[in-house]
Structure 1
Amino acid sequence: MACHILRSDRFQGAPLLKSIFLSYRIADSAFAVTEISKQMAARISRTHVFRDDDSIELGALYADRIRAALEDCETLVAIIGPHWLEAADGHGNRRIDNDRDWVRFEIRTAYERGVPVIPVLLDDTPLPSPGQLPVDIRALAQSQFWNIRHRTLDTDISGLIDRLAPDSRPHAGDSDASTKGIHPTQINRADKGSNVITNNGRDQDVRIGNARRGRL
């Protein structure tokens, strides 16, 4: 179960957000950020969710698009994994201590604009303490956060979206929302004469031991 610390009274009953900006470190959150972006796009619409890999057009100037998205967003979601804080540059210095670090710049810009910053902590990563953060983003340490864990990934992401956009519904054509309810073929095995029971009403590849016995 996710640790649902985030309070969202200001969002309850509100219209869909104009834009959500996803801030993350590539090497720190690869398992989660793609899925977060995909599910948000399905519920809120891709045009309302900014993730650099999904949202920056070929040939566009990266820095200009990041700045424009930060000026447009109404919420910044800071995805924090186990190496987010201590990620180092080629000289062994913490990236977060460099005022030109993109992650620091994104969070600082949001605070300067008065935009809510929501820390999303991956797999029990602790929220950084004030003394671990540069002064210009130290408010992050006092922010109410949301947990996302690998073993409950879909449920945790869905819960986050429910808080941010409680009236949202899947949008046809965004992500793979249109494939919901389609069950993939499953491979089930039964040993020593035990029974195999179908559980999704679709074709299943059934094996007893190592021998294939046909499809149900």
Structure 2
Amino acid sequence: MSQVDNQQEKKRTREWTTSRTDDVLRLCWPTIGRKRETGTAPHLWYGTLDEKGRCAISKVFINFRVGDGQDSAVLLEQRLVTELGRDEVFRSSTGITAGTAFEPRLVEAASACEVMLVVIGPRWLTITKGSVASIAAPADWVRLEIELALAGDAKVIPILVGDIKMPAEDDLPETIRELAGRQYIRLHHRSAKYSLDQIADSVRALVTSDNSVLPPPPAQVTMLTSLGAASRTADISLSEANVNGRYYSESIVYRCSDFANAVRGRIAFNLGRRFRSFRTTAGVLDDALEGHQTGVFQVIGDGVMLAERTASHGAPCVIDVDVSTVLRLELIAHRPGTTRHPMLAGVLAISGKSNNLPELAWANPTLYA
């Protein structure tokens, strides 16, 4: 540590000696200046270590003030957990287990995070502690967490809730005035999905994985069939299709010839939470031998029904669903009344009766990033 840095450290340490919280900060302060890339844990570190002896610290810290931005903080946490994983996102309400000393846990998480999101709502500056604004009060954790993140060279991003203005430098305590010069992102609840996607994309670009490189983001438009199926039933094929007079070059076709190997055609793909939405046109094939049939189409994400639609010959349906949290996507199609038993199907075929075999398609199934 240089002489200048050492003087700055001593100055901050002298300032943080007036309360129990400040005592914790003073004790933990030597950890802040350590280089995080060394992968070693300072001797005063209060957190847990992984199997290699490194600090088990979340990369993203969500800073918020109770009574102002806690609801927005929850939304941010939920979205970022789906993007980065549970262990990579810290919010005090969920990141500290029962019985754990919260002061040192907050210090370690704030001082070692790579990205801090500072949630600023309409009351962020005006909430008071006694007669003093909370942001300027001794041992205010919101301010102290920001100080720690700034001192640790984290990327500190203000998240402005709604139409709130960015606080000016003069409105902020001297120790966090540089926050006023940081580029902010807005979180509008009326367009929360768009805002959260923007925030998630920004954060994702700033953090690094264990191998220092995140998987590349997917293309803006990806055909589902290009991913390769994780599993599928025998009567499912990947081919072209004509639905309602339109040609689709990339389609998932569920068509049986003599009898149905399975009364429901299933195909699954691993998305890995890398896509925003899924869109397809579902319908009965134009060249279906039994054109009067109806098809039922289901979209399943990680075992949860996301959509169910019905389509008939000449009347397809468009399915558009959010898959931003989906690891595994499964498409299921069936024709009501399909004969289940192969022997019965044979008897009906010989007698000239219909087995109600499905002739259905998911036309141009598309993923959007």
Are positions 1:137 and 2:176 aligned together?
yes
Counterpart of 2:156 in structure 1 is 117
Instruction: Point out where structure 2 has 5 or more consecutive residues left out of the alignment.
Output: 1-56, 206-215, 218-271, 275-300, 309-316, 321-369
Listed as ranges, the matches of 1:171-182 within 5 Å are 178=302, 182=306
C-alpha contact (below 8 Å) 2:58/2:90 kept by paired residues: no
Counterpart of 1:59 in structure 2 is 99
Count residues in correspondence: 168
Give SS of 1:37's match. Answer: helix
Distance 1:18 1:57 in 2: 14
Distance 1:179 1:76, change over 3 A: farther
Q: CA offsets per residue over residues 61-83 of structure 1, 9 Å max, x none?
A: 11111111123311111010000
* Structure of greater relative contact order (alpha carbons < 8 Å, 6+ residues apart): 1
Q: What letter is aligned with 1:98?
A: A
Q: What letter is aligned with 1:129?
A: A
C-alpha contact (below 8 Å) 1:44/1:170 kept by paired residues: no
Q: Which of 41, 46, 52 is the aligned partner of 2:86?
A: 46
Counterpart of 1:170 in structure 2 is 273
Give SS of 1:66's match. Answer: helix
Counterpart of 1:86 in structure 2 is 126
Q: CA offsets per residue over residues 10-65 of structure 1, 9 Å max, x none?
A: xxxxxxx9600000012111331111101100110010000011111111111111
Give SS of 1:65's match. Answer: helix
- What fraction of aligned residue pairs are identical, expressed as a percent? 25
Distance 1:180 1:163 in 2: 28
Q: Which of 137, 145, 151 is the aligned partner of 1:106?
A: 145
Are positions 1:151 and 2:190 aligned together?
yes
Give SS of 1:28's match. Answer: coil
C-alpha contact (below 8 Å) 1:42/1:170 kept by paired residues: yes
Distance 1:49 1:164 in 2: 11
Distance 2:164 2:62 in 1: 18
Are positions 1:25 and 2:65 aligned together?
yes
Instruction: Find the structure with the greater CA-based Rg.
Output: 2
Normalising by structure 1, what TM-score?
Answer: 0.70
Greater fraction strand: 2
Q: Which of 114, 119, 127 is the aligned partner of 1:74?
A: 114
Give SS of 1:124's match. Answer: coil
Distance 1:156 1:64 in 2: 32
Distance 1:181 1:28, change over 3 A: farther
Q: What letter is aligned with 1:114?
A: D
Distance 1:141 1:73 in 2: 20
Are positions 1:127 and 2:166 aligned together?
yes
Structure 1 residue 137: Cα displacement: 0.1
Structure 1 residue 92: Cα displacement: 2.9
C-alpha contact (below 8 Å) 1:99/1:105 kept by paired residues: no
Q: What is the RMSD computed on CA atoms of the aligned residues?
A: 2.8
Distance 1:65 1:183, change over 3 A: farther
Give SS of 2:100's match. Answer: coil
Q: CA offsets per residue over residues 162-199 of structure 1, 9 Å max, x none?
A: 1121447539xxxxx84777259xxxxxxxxxxxxx98
Distance 1:130 1:180, change over 3 A: farther
Q: Which of 57, 74, 87 is the aligned partner of 1:34?
A: 74
Greater fraction helix: 1
C-alpha contact (below 8 Å) 2:112/2:149 kept by paired residues: no
Distance 1:134 1:183 in 2: 50
Normalising by structure 2, what TM-score?
Answer: 0.42
Q: What letter is aligned with 1:21?
A: F
Distance 1:149 1:199 in 2: 28
